[in-house]
Structure 1
Amino acid sequence: MAYSRRILSDDEHIELDLHPHWKVLVLPVLVLLLVVPVASYLAARVPEGSAQAPVRIGIVVVGAVLIILGTLRQLVRWLTTHYIVTDRRLITRHGLVARNGRDMPLTRINDISFSHTVVERVLGCGTLVVESAGERGQLLLRDVPGVEMVQRRLYELADDALEAREDGGRHDLHEA
């Protein structure tokens, strides 16, 4: 799902548009695959009697709450988290109702590093740490898919942006 282009300047281009790695959805899917059969089994095992309907309703409510908290919430978090790299800046956005975001100009980036565990290395994801010359300093992006490729591409774009800025400054000096 591509993020809205209205956050971009007229001549700004998206280089990478990423969600966190799919591994963040493994546990929510397991919760779903566990809650549905267990709740179904428990509801079927409720003995007949006057309390059968309320107990079954209780089981369904508990199951629904577990699915909402354990599955849907994580899915919505994944869907609404974006890591966007343009030719000018690094953009992060997350949240559905209450939105949070941060933009970091590529020309302000000082250092880009990544780390991943053994499992993350096998899955091809990791944590990207982007250091900036600005006040807020560091931007931490967790569960970035293809983290090594993203680090390399971000470095190339930051280098290009810095060169373009320096060339533009020299060009302005020569015209004056």
Structure 2
Amino acid sequence: MPGETVLETTRTHVKVLLVPLLVLLACSFAGGFLAAQAGGSGDGWVRWGVVALAVGIALWFAVLPFVRWFLWTYTLTSKRIVEQKGILTREGRVIPLSRVNDVSFEKNLNDRLLRCGTLIVHTASEEQGLLLRDIPRIEDFHRTVSTLVYEAHRRHDEPI
């Protein structure tokens, strides 16, 4: 849009990658151990079967979540909030800041320790609102969005 500048682009906090990392480590360890235990039995087919199973599990439960995390972005511009996600099929959602009625955030104990949280954006047309989960530095992001919403409403309410 003309006159629009990108202020911040972020992803969810890296804490969402902890379980996929543990799965990757477990698959690597278990796959390597079981492949070594299988040795050359069955002309090596057992070993390759174990390796293929470990690689398949690692791809599905570790690499795929990483790619999903990497491609899920939140962009804050001077005029709107944009959420984009998806690997093969992309989805997007745009909320003009002039349509936002309320911006709040939530943090549980883990979020407080990791300095992240959930941003809740309410518009006039939605009852539930948009939840942007696990946003890093949530207080700063909330403050920026609130300031931009205030400015957007002030510009919108000015007489022409």
Q: Which of residues 17, 23, 28 in structure 2 aligns to 1:31?
A: 23
Where does the alignment leave 5 or more consecutive residues of structure 1 unmatched? 1-8
Distance in 1 (CA, whole Å) between partners of 2:147 and 2:156 is 14
Give the direction of change, closer, same or farther, for the CA distance of 1:136–1:10 in structure 2 (3 Å limit): farther
Unaligned runs of 5+ in 2: none
Give runs of ≥4 in structure 1 deviating > 4 Å.
Answer: none
Deviations 1:27-75 (A, max 9, x none): 11111112112101110011543x1512111111111111111111111
SS of residue paired to 1:144: strand
| Post-superposition offset of 1:135 | 4.7
* Rounded Cα–Cα distance in structure 2 between residues aligned with 1:153 and 1:139: 17
CA distance in 2, matches of 1:47, 1:15: 56
Determine if contact 2:6/2:75 at 8 Å carries over to the other structure: yes
CA distance in 1, matches of 2:65, 2:99: 32
Matched ranges for 1:3-152 at <5 A:
9-49=1-41, 51-135=42-126, 138-152=129-143
1:155 aligns with 146
The residue aligned with 1:3 is: none
Q: Secondary structure at the match of 1:16?
A: strand
Q: Distance in 2 between matches of 1:60 and 1:75?
A: 21
Identity %: 33
Structure 2 length as normaliser, TM-score?
A: 0.94
Change in 2 beyond 3 A, CA 1:105/1:136: farther
User: Which TM-score applies when normalising by structure 1?
Assistant: 0.85
The verdict on how the C-alpha distance between 1:76 and 1:136 changes in structure 2, with shifts beyond 3 A counting, is: farther
Deviation string 1:106-150 (CA, Å, 9 cap, x unpaired) is 011111111121111100111111101125751011111111211
Size of the aligned set, in residue pairs, is 160
Max Rg structure = 1
Alpha-carbon RMSD: 1.4
Kindly provide the amino acid, as one letter, of the partner of residue 8 in structure 2.
L
Asked if structure 2 preserves the Cα contact closer than 8 Å seen for 1:46 and 1:52, the reply is: no
